[in-house]
Amino acid sequence: MQADIERVLIDREAIAQRVHELAGQIVADLGPDAAVEDQEITLVPILTGSIIFVSDLIRKMPLRMQIRVMSVTSYPGRATASRGASVEAALTKLPDSLEDRHILIIDDILDSGNTLSLAREMIQKRSPESLRSCVLLRKERPEAMEAAVDYVAFDIPDEFVVGYGLDYDDYYRNLPDICTLRQEVYTR
């Protein structure tokens, strides 16, 4: 697996530091007037790419929280570019109503904006108290830079990346760093 890596774009230490900072910012934005123990949030991670990011983020957030997952497919199989977002209903666990809930959508990467837009639309119909979004990575491309997002861990060049939850054909998610692959790996 290591032989497939072209270069490390963001190392694990930088990721850990930024996740810690983001968690603090999210907690502060929920309302500095309330005691931390009284604050509550519902996280909606987009499966499967966000799972490692979410697991690290929630351990830095001293809040009451619920997790309601959504499964959205936009990079099927060996795709290295988004093929359009579609919800996988069988894996999506959203209640019919989210009234009085502060919702945070969490995704791994923002490139076209389609996944985040679809998730926002589905959740907004459930009348949340507030709705914010957080992405680990935002590609430096016009669609991504113009998309509405509240928290961004890192802006990256418009390159295909793997690691820290991101995959190619369901592999490489377990890499602790965010990396680019050698081109011959995904052009085989």
Annotated catalytic residues are 111
Nearest-Å Rg of the Cα atoms of the chain is 16
Instruction: Please measure the distance between the N-terminal and C-terminal CA atoms of the chain and give it in whole angstroms.
Output: 15
**C-alpha count within 13 angstroms, C-beta hemisphere, residue 20:** 6
Q: Check residue 168 and report its DSSP letter.
A: B
User: Across 48-129, where does the E strand assignment appear?
Assistant: 64-67, 70-73, 86-87, 102-110
Residues in contact with 49: Cβ distance below 8 Å, sequence separation at least 6, in sequence order? 107, 108, 109, 165, 166, 167, 173
User: Across 35-98, where does the E strand assignment appear?
Assistant: 40-47, 64-67, 70-73, 86-87
